[in-house]
Amino acid sequence: MPTSFPQKGRPKSEVLRELRSLQKDDADWQRGRCFAYVYQARDELNELLREAYQLYAKANAVNPGAFPGIKRMERQLIEMAAELFHLPAQDPAKAGTFTSGGSESILLAVLAAREHFRQKRPGKQGEIILSATAHPTFHKAAHYFDLKIVQTPVNSAFKTSPEAVQAQISENTALIVASAPSFPQGIIDPIEELGQIALQHDIPMHVDACVGGFILPFLKRGGVELPDFDFSVPGVTSLSADLHKYGYADKGASLVLFRDSFMRRNSFFTFTSWTGGLYGSTHITGSRSGGPVAAAWALLQHLGMEGYTRLAMQAYTACRQMLRGIEQFPELQVLGRPQATLFALASDSLNVYELADELSLQGWYIDRQQSPPSLHFNITAAHETVVEPFLQDLAKAIEKSKKRSGGFRQKWPLHLVNGLQRLLPETLFSKLRHGLASRLSVPKSGSRSAPLYGMTESLKKSGQLDELIKDLLE
């Protein structure tokens, strides 16, 4: 039954009670049992975020003239980030935009590169060179902005190959993309080599530091040896860094920075013939709450370099403890050599999706990945206290997975749809089975070994997997 608009209003207490009850099936991020989506540091920081957010929640950042306080905070955040990422701009405030998240930051950077390309080669379709590990938002940007993706393979260490990128450069290249680090395996691309290629051909290069931007500089400060990844590297022309990831701010907070302010200008939109007045926009979104700006600003002020360095090192220590613990399980392999606080686990002998299901039965939330099948881990400061319990549950889950007649579920496209919404694995499994069954005209019922496995690749090629994902999004 569809929900009807309430005839009479309901008491505040009842509404709040229902809101709380809607949280009951959410991933348990408060206790560090979730390895995706939520970047949690300490509870008392959430209190500060809440208060700061509330102060500005109603204010609309779309008009800086009406809300100069928000404008000031955005400007200061950009200036602080410009310093953090070694941006040698003359006026750092002109070098960036505070956005709603990594996706918007990337969309603006790609739009700027496309405009730049169109100025140089009017009428031509620009190309983005990226590797298989780059975030899907670049594909989305290409889809929105009529650009072509030129995808290069990663090497065996899951790094973008500079040689492969070099081989794909053409007069239509509008942008080169590198990750610091990549989301799936947590690997930092060879930014310096890629920067040299970008410089040599005078092509913009974007560093996607959405996940790494607010941890890598602090890990370095804490003594961890890491390669340079920001504007200190010649050739890097733009960079995205999410405050709402390892900046531990509330969702809706990211920054995109440009080495040259004319590139940022390329991401702006103007319309001068509207009956409503002259219109100018620096964002993909229109109206924006001041809440995320205020919360991020407050947290940066409160933590400072020292606080962030402490949190970064806590996450790093927890991550190294996890990795050391995982070494004792010969069934599991870490993909590549993750340098920061994200990693992926694969297995030659176990079905890792089966393993994830076992762990989720024990209350852990873990993302599934593909090519190769693997499980994804984002380690934050809040995971410090769960390393031991996790490793104990992992040992049990490995034993259980060994006993199951594996194989079938690993081949399911289950991993492609995680993140769409939080569905229980079984619910998702049955939805997928029904969706696939109706598309492929095979019986909907049946055991787990229904004759559907192994079809992922052919489904991908025929476009049916895309349709299936749209079904789920619907």
Report the interface residues with ligand PLP, using CB under 6 A.
101-103, 106, 135, 137, 179, 183, 208, 210-211, 242, 254
Nearer to ligand PLP, 254 or 309 (CB): 254
CB of 248 to ligand PLP, least distance (A): 14
Least separation in angstroms between CB 4 and ligand PLP: 33
CB 331 to ligand PLP: min, Å:
27
Q: Which is nearer to ligand PLP, 135 or 409 (CB)?
A: 135
Select 105 or 456, whichever has its Cβ closest to ligand PLP: 105
Give the whole-angstrom CA distance, residue 86 versus residue 231: 5
User: Cβ of residue 153: shortest distance to ligand PLP, in angstroms?
Assistant: 18
Strands annotated E in 202-287:
205-208, 238-242, 254-258, 269-271, 279-281
Question: What token pair was written down for 371?
Answer: 């090519």
Considering the complex, state which of residue 160 and residue 410 has its C-beta at the smaller distance from ligand PLP.
160
User: How many whole angstroms separate alpha carbon 419 and alpha carbon 422?
Assistant: 7
Tell me the residue nearest to ligand PLP as measured from the CB.
102
Task: Enter the tokens of residue 143.
Answer: 């889809």
Question: Which CB atom, from 211 or from 263, has the smaller least distance to ligand PLP?
Answer: 211
Q: Which one, 351 or 380, has the nearer CB to ligand PLP?
A: 380
CB of 292 to ligand PLP, least distance (A): 11
> Residue 368: which H helix or E strand, with range?
strand 367-369
Residue 106 CB, nearest approach to ligand PLP (Å): 6
Closest contact distance (angstroms) between CB of 337 and ligand PLP is: 18
Task: Tell me how long the chain is.
Answer: 474
Q: Are strands 127-131 and 148-152 parallel, antiparallel or unpaired?
A: parallel
Using DSSP bridges, classify how beta strands 279-281 and 269-271 pair: parallel, antiparallel or unpaired.
Answer: antiparallel
DSSP 14: H
Smallest separation, CB 207 to ligand PLP (Å): 10
User: Can you tell me the distance from the alpha carbon of 240 to that of 380, in angstroms, rounded to the nearest whole number?
Assistant: 20
- Name which of 121, 181, 180, 173 is nearest 152 in CA terms: 173
Q: Which is nearer to ligand PLP, 135 or 283 (CB)?
A: 135
Please identify, using beta-carbon distances, which residue of 137 and 410 lies nearer to ligand PLP.
137
User: What is the signed CA dihedral for 125, 131, 134, 136, rounded to 10 degrees?
Assistant: 50
- Write the CA distances from 400 to 353, 358, 406, integer angstroms: 12, 7, 11
3-state DSSP of 38-106: CCCCCHHHHHHHHHHHHHHCCCECCCCCCCHHHHHHHHHHHHHHHHHCCCCCCCHHHHEEEECCHHHHH
